[in-house]
Structure formats: structure tokens, C-alpha cells
Amino acid sequence: MTDSAISERVELLGLERSGLIALCRQWGEKPFRGQQLMRWIHRRFEDDFGAMSDLAKGFRERLVQNARVQVPTVISDHASTDGTRKWLIDVGQGNAIETVFIPEASRGTLCVSTQAGCAVNCHFCSTGKQGFARNLTSGEIVGQLWLANRLLGRRVSALPDQSDEGDADDHDRRVTNVVFMGMGEPLLNYDATLSAVRIMLDDHGYGLSRRRVTVSTSGVVPMMDRLALDQPVALAVSLHAANDALRDRLVPLNRKYPLSELMAACRRYLAHAPRDFITFEYVMLDGVNDSDQDLAQLIDLVRDVPCKFNLIPFNPFPQSGLKRSGSQRIRDFAQGLNEAGIVTTVRRTRGDDIDAACGQLAGDVTDRTRLEQRSARTAIFLEQA
């Protein structure tokens, strides 16, 4: 079969159940064939149509000729001393993304990417310094979960319950939670992100609870409202500053959607969310956003937004011009939030030795937008502020 013939085949990995059913109907097959196909791909992690034994022979032959499951290609696979695992995945044209698996005693969390590079360019995040290449397809996003399950050697053997205490088949799965916190801004690649989320939640797909899938955003307000209506899952907001002047510098998207609009969007989202709180992520930057004044402003900012805080010790990288807050300052900041009645945790740094910690994912993305020069100017501006 020629390369052009292969490229013309329908890619199935990113199709939701409704899409698979529609395709089967188009080929004259019963709708339940679409569900069978989804289970083979996303619950048994099978990409060989010939191995899908309960599909009719004629249907399998048609799939071989007209469809494909485009499995992600791994460039490198790194394991940390703490058990964290990071995969560098080829997405073509010299671009790569990174996916990280973080094992813990009670869960296994997979951090997936939604874009090759990132256009938001938060000042403390190394991904943004690499520029933006392109959005990922839904298949490339959900393919990271497919790949992790395959490489980790666990298969989903039974439908999970929907509790937050633990899935019925957690003993047979390594990935129990998915967070959209890898490379890119998920809500700036909305359609592909939404399809990937729906596949992850589908009982014929990965069967994850809405409480176990978290989308993180730097504050794309209109898309937050859409997600609340289309498929509300747990929401994390990258906050990082308590006033617009500072957040404009740290998170440039704030200039378009300032804090007042972001907080209002968070309150609207809670009416639909599977959890009764928003998680705010706050990277701790020495002398930038960690003062007592910052703490007081932060408490006032979120006073009417039910929330939890995740304080993130900054992970230094070249060209950032920033330093991590001291350990005692981070503890004092967390204590101040807790004393104000806000549940606060300090994220434990994982995967430092393989550059897999928060804000470190960079992949192999060409800087197409001279972001390094612009970031250097921002660093000087922050020092002078």
C-alpha cells in the first residue's frame, strides 16, 4: 500500500463513539460495531484490526483497507529515580511533545499535552519559550493516554464506578487520573481537547470519572464557559498573581481576560463542575509574587470563589531570570492561606532529574516567534518593577 493510500484512510484513534458509530453506519454496519471498535482501541489498546477477533471478517478487511489507528511514535523514554516517567513523542515536521506519568500510592496521574509548544508564553514556563508550532489533533491527545496504558502494561478490564474513592478496577490500571497540564493551553485547542476528554470519559473508552480528569487553563474565559456546558470536568486555573499589573507580566493572556473576568468565569463554572471547588495553581517566585502583601491580595481576590490552592515551587530553567521562593517562605504562604480557610497544598516536585517537573516540559519545538528575545525583555522589566 502506498504512503498516499495510507494517509487517506480514516484515523480512528481520535473519533468519539458517535463518530465511530456514524462511520460504521456509512459502511452498512450495525451501530454496535462502533462500540465494539471503540472498546478494542481504547480498552484493549489494540491497533491491529486483524486481532479484533469478535468483529466480522468482512468488517475487519474493510477496516484494513479504509481505516487506521495512528499510534504515537516515541522518540525517547526516561524514567526518574522517583518513579516518574516521561515520553518524548514525535508529532511530525521536527516537532515533539512530552507526556509525563506520575505514580503515587493511591493513584497514577498522566499529564498530557494539547499543543506542540505554546502561544501563551507564561514567563515562568519553559514550554512557552520554545514558541508555538501547532495544535494537536484529538487522536494525538488521547493517543498519549493510549500509549501510556500500552507501555505501562496495564489493561482496563472492567467498567469503573464513578466514585472519587477509587475505581473498581484501579488494581488493574496504572493511569487513574488525567490532567491536561502538559505542553500547550488546552482551551486554545478547544475542539480537539473536548473530543479527547469525551473519549476518556466514555464507558466504552477509558471510563474515567469527570472528577478524575482535570483541564488546566491560564484563563481563556469564553472557552471556560463553553466547557462548563459541553463537558464539565475538574478545572484548574493557572493564577500565579493576585493583581492585574503583575499577572499581565507573568501570564500575558491576562491582558485580554483580566482577573475580574476570570473570577466571574470561575464562579459560573462551579454551577456545572463535578467538584465544588476550583483548583488555583500558584507558582512561587522569589521576590515576585510571594510577599505578605501578595498573600493578602490573593485571599481577598478569591474570597467568594470556593477553591483550593496548589502552591508550586518554581522549577528554574535558563533564560527565565526567576528564582524559587525559599522553603520557609512557601510554608508561611501556605499557612496564611490555610488560616484564611482555604485548603492549600504545596506540590511535591517530581521528575526533576528528567526535566519532567511542572513548567519544565519543552520537547523539541523550533522557536518560530523570537520568544527568547521577548522573554529576555520581560525578565528585565520584572527586575525593574
Q: Which residues are catalytic?
A: 98, 358
The C-alpha atoms of residue 96 and residue 260 are separated, in whole angstroms, by: 36
Dig out the grid coordinates for 83 from the structure. Answer: 518513579
Q: Which three cell numbers stand for residue 359?
A: 513548567
Residue type, 118: C
Which residue's C-alpha cell is 466504552?
A: 204
Using alpha carbons, select from 146, 2, 4 the residue that is nearest to residue 70.
146
Q: How far apart are CA 224 and CA 380, in angstroms?
A: 32
- For residue 254, give Cα distances in angstroms to 68, 116, 131, 270, 382: 41, 22, 19, 21, 16
